[in-house]
Amino acid sequence: MRDFRAAVSACVGRRELMLLAGAGTAAGLLPRAARAASATDATLIKAAQAEGAVNTIALPPDWANYGTIIGTFEKKYGIRVNNAAPDDSSAQELQSIRSMKGQSRGPDVVDVGPSFALIGASEGLFRPYKVATWDSIPANMKDPGGLWWGDYFGLVSFGVNRSVAKTAPQSWADLKKPEYKGMVSLNNSPLGAAAAFAAVMAASIANGGSLDDIMPGIQYFAELAKLGNFNPTSATAASIVSGQTPVVINWDYLNLAQAKKSKGMVTIDTIIPEGATPYGAYYCQAISSYAPHPRAAELWEEFLYSDAGQILFLQGFAHPARFADMVKRGVISKELTADLPPPGPYAEALFANNEQSKKAQAALAANWTKMVKA
């Protein structure tokens, strides 16, 4: 993990970040070996354009700037992006690969949380591929065999609609106050959504738990539900703006982007909780073993991991995987970084490794539904 720590430290500090270790190559993959290609490779572009489309899944347009990313890709290459089920979870993305094998509408690519990337790799759902910029993706944000690779990362935060919540909560303890009755939501179930899973991990760290013990986080939400403060409605951009879910525990980049989008309509604060070590995670790209548009899938990945694609993530307030490399090379403007949150929390954040994630998922599966009853 030393290489990623050094890279991020150059931009945000010196404290060690704990990231997922790469998973080994899974069995049952397509026979073609992983390879790197250039996004400007005329042969790849021609082959992708001949396929005519790329099937993505679970990419909301207001998530990490995906609406702009999709539009830019389509305009640049003349290839249609079929983005299915934009509000699906990581678990549902994997299920779509399983259930639509051999179908023309099956996913070509997925964007999943790291624990789900490990599941997909172990089941042979992904085929290996390495983008041209592979070497500048930190080693601990990618599978060494090219089965998956991190694309962007963020921290757990509170998004607060100040029209409803007159005082923004600053800590996990604040969320228990009577003034937040019925207000506090996740973006989905932690049993299937990486952002909600991260929220429970963050709550655990803030309440006496650790990366190895998620139970205090489950107990925290059980208490929040008992107090009547936990709202089981899955939060969306529309629900936070309308006030249906006025306090949303979600990724910082989503809350920051929503605040920008809603400016002039409603004020949304983005709070990294005080009094606790921040918790963060990255999402991962992978190409389906059954991709109906395999070359377009490759071109999509090349675009995402080019400097231009990574900057588009950053414009959506998500720190791209190649952030440190791009800062070092001076390709990120000062104007863009001026809009980012202070770097301090990013230097302090904890990230679960694969074994910790698996252990936490097992604890959630065994306890969440029976303990958290809103």
Tell me the per-residue pLDDT of 341-374, one tens digit each, with 9 for 90 and over. 788 888 888 988 888 988 999 999 999 999 998 7
Tokens standing for residue 139: 């080693």
15 pLDDT band (50/70/90 cuts)?
Answer: very low
- Taking the C-alpha atoms of residue 15 and residue 9, their distance in angstroms, rounded to an integer, is 7
Q: Compare 47 and 353 and report the one with higher pLDDT.
A: 47
DSSP 175: G
pLDDT at 354: 81
Alpha-carbon span 306 to 36, nearest angstrom: 13
Smallest CA-to-CA distance from 364 within 153, 193, 180, 163 is with: 193
- pLDDT tens figures, 57-113: 999 999 999 999 999 999 999 999 999 999 999 999 999 999 999 999 999 999 998
2-153+281-348 to CATH, choices 3.30.70.3040, 3.40.190.10, 3.30.56.10, 3.40.50.10320: 3.40.190.10
Per the model's pLDDT, the better-predicted residue between 13 and 166 turns out to be 166
pLDDT at 213 over 60: yes
Distance of alpha carbon 261 from the chain centroid: 19
Domains 2-153+281-348 and 155-279+354-371 share a fold: yes
Res. 120: pLDDT tops 70: yes
Q: Which residue has the tokens 């060690």?
A: 16
Confidence of residue 18 (pLDDT cuts 50, 70, 90): very low
Single-letter code of the amino acid located at 237: A
User: What is the CATH code for 155-279+354-371?
Assistant: 3.40.190.10
pLDDT of 35 = 52
Give the Å distances, CA to CA, from 69 to 64, 241, 305, 313.
9, 23, 12, 8
> Average pLDDT, stretch 290-298?
98
246: left (phi over 0), alpha (psi -120 to 50) or beta: alpha
Enumerate residues 6+ apart whose C-beta is below 8 A from 230: 184, 185, 221, 224, 372, 374
As a whole number of angstroms, the distance between CA 352 and CA 118 comes to 13
Domain boundaries, the chain: 2-153+281-348, 155-279+354-371
The DSSP secondary-structure symbol of 84 reads E
Per-residue model confidence as pLDDT tens digits over 244-287: 999 999 999 999 999 999 999 999 999 999 999 999 999 999 99
User: Does residue 201 carry a pLDDT above 70?
Assistant: yes
